A = this chain, B = another copy of it.
Amino acid sequence: MIQTEDFKSIIDQYKVIFFDAFGVIKNYKGMVPGMDETFAYLRATGKEYYIVTNDASRSPKQLAASFNKLGLDITPDRIISSGMLAKEYLDLKVNEGIVAYLGTANSAHYIDYSGLHTLPVSAIDESNIDQVNALVFLDDEGFDWFRDLNKTVNILRRRNIPTIVANTDYAYPLNTQDVAIAIGGIASMIHQIVGKRFINFGKPDSLMFTFAYDQVRKTNPSIGKKDILMIGDTLQTDILGGNKFGLDTMLVFTGNTLPTDAETRITSSGIVPTYICEKAVIG
C-alpha cells in the first residue's frame, strides 16, 4: 500500500485550492464526511478555493444548489465547469442558426442564449437541418439513444459544423460496483464513425485550468501557479491536467483510485501527483 501524507500540513503551504467535485467532495454515497470542516478551515485561514469539474449537465447555479443540499456552503462563483467552456465557445464562434444538442432540456437551458435556437437532436428534421450550425454533447440522459445517436451521425455527415464535447469522461461511478456510460464515451463512438475532429472540453485539457486561473487572478492578481494546489481522484484528468498546467497536485482515495491500485496506476501511466492523501479532510 502506497504511503499517504497529512492533508492539513500540505494545504497550509498553498493560497488557493482547486477541488474536483465527484470523488473528492462528494461521491455516490453523498458528501465525503468531514468536507464541511475542510471548507470551514479554508475560510477561516483566508484561502481561496474553486470547484473545477467536468460536468456539463447543470449550470454553476444548479451545481452550487446541489452542494448546498449536502450541507456545503459553496456559491456559484466558486464553480468552474466544462459546460462553461462550451458556452463560451458558442458565444464566441457561433453567431446564428440552431445549436443541436444531446442531453436533458435542463443542460441545454444552460447554454441557451440570445440569437441562437437551442434544439434537441430529436427536433432536427429536413425543415431545419440546414440551419444547424453547431452540435453539442451535453449529457447521457434526456434522449432516446437508438433514435438520436443514429440521427446525430447523419446530421454530422451532412453538416460540416463545429461539434463540441462538453464532458470528455467516458464513464462515471454509480455505486461501489457499477458505472454508467458518460456522454464523453458516446461522443467518442460518434467521432470514430463520422471521422471528424470534435472540440473536447474538460480536464485534462488546459482550458479548464486557464478558466479557473483567470478567475483567481481577477480577485487577486498576485497569485501565481506555485500558490495553487489541484486536488483530484483521477490520474488521467485531475492530476495530468494540473501537472501540465504547472500546478502542484494531490491524489485522494475517495473516488476513482483505490489505495491498492494507486502505485501500479502511477507507475504504468507515468502520471505522478505531488502528494497522495487518503481524503481531502482535515484531522
Contact = CB atoms under 8 A, between A and B. Distances in A.
Interface of A: 88-89, 92-93, 144-146, 149-150, 153-154, 156-158, 160-163, 170-171, 177-181, 185-186, 188-189, 192-199, 205-207, 210, 225-226, 236, 240, 243-247, 264, 266-272
Contact of A162 (B93, B157, B272): B272
B158 A195 contact: no
Closest 9 CB pairs of A and B: A196-B270, A189-B189, A145-B145, A92-B246, A145-B146, A206-B207, A206-B206, A154-B178, A210-B210
Given A154-B178, A185-B189, A225-B92, A207 B245 contact: yes
A93 B207 contact: no
Contacts of A146: 144-145
A247 B93 CA distance: 8
A243 to B, nearest CB: 7
Contacts of A225: 92
